[in-house]
Amino acid sequence: MGPARIRLSRPADSTGLLVLTHGAGGRLTASEFAPIRAAATEDGWAVALVEQAWVVAGRKMPPQPPTQDPAWLPVVAALRSGRRRLTGPLVAGGKSNGARVACRTAHDTGADGVLCLSFPLHPPGKPEVSRAEELRTPLAHGIPLHVVQGRTDPFGTPAEVRAELPSPDLVTEVNGAHSFPRNPADAVTAALGFLASVR
């Protein structure tokens, strides 16, 4: 699908790598990205915000998983290889559609954890169209998972997401819906807590 674009924040002595990507809207301007990147970098993590190849290519909507996932894998591999490779634990994640990609590919990327921001468990008003199997994919491979979910998310409330996972502790309920408020301190705290558990 062509190249992706990476915005990398790298502390001098990073102790791990957090890779986050956007949702189906293709924007890295989601309210939680900047504060999570700032807090994680201050905590010693290198943070890569990834604009996926389909966005760089000018597409308006993400392709289906058989196309999207293979285009994602070399992006993560590039961050972990070469002379300037980023070492330490790898936490993959993203917002909405990006969280789905991270879950589906966690085993293939070698992720040590998956951080989902606003996981779209089902389309709004269609709980019967469940993506729970995707959500549980990292756990099936023994990879830790955490979901940060808005209290009134129409794509799946925190209670709905918890019902699909083996422990309620895998979900943090925060303010907001599928989008979080500006400077969402609760989401940042949840993300940092999960990163600390992986480290």
Mean pLDDT confidence for 111-139: 95
pLDDT at residue 87, rounded to an integer? 84
Residue 30 has pLDDT above 80, yes or no: no
Mean pLDDT confidence for 137-154: 97
Residue 40 has pLDDT above 90, yes or no: yes
pLDDT at residue 106, rounded to an integer? 97
Residue 28 has pLDDT above 80, yes or no: yes
One-letter amino acid at 58 equals G
Residue 72 has pLDDT above 90, yes or no: yes
- Domains with residue ranges and CATH for the chain: 5-198 (3.40.50.1820)
Mean pLDDT confidence for 78-103: 93
pLDDT at residue 170, rounded to an integer? 97
Smallest CA-to-CA distance from 75 within 6, 28, 141 is with 6
Mean pLDDT confidence for 184-196: 95
Residue 175 has pLDDT above 90, yes or no: yes
Contact 23, 62 (CB under 8 A): no
Lowest mean pLDDT among 21-30, 74-83, 93-102, 108-117: 21-30
Q: What confidence tens digit (pLDDT) does each residue in 9-25 have?
A: 999 889 899 999 998 88
pLDDT at residue 110, rounded to an integer? 95
Q: Provide the pLDDT confidence category of residue 56 given band limits of 50, 70 and 90.
A: very high
Predicted structure pTM score:
0.94
Residue 33 has pLDDT above 80, yes or no: yes
Neighbours of 93 (CB within 10 A): 29
In this structure, what DSSP letter does residue 29 have? -
Q: Is 28 helix (H, G, I), strand (E, B) or coil?
A: coil
Contact 116, 147 (CB under 8 A): yes
Mean pLDDT confidence for 110-138: 95
pLDDT at residue 183, rounded to an integer? 83
DSSP per residue over 152-172, as a string? Answer: T-TT--HHHHHHTSS-GGGEE
Mean pLDDT confidence for 64-73: 93
Smallest CA-to-CA distance from 100 within 49, 63, 128 is with 63
Q: Over the chain, what is the mean pLDDT?
A: 93
In the structure encoding, which two tokens stand for residue 84, read together? 């300037």
In the structure encoding, which two tokens stand for residue 146, read together? 């955490």
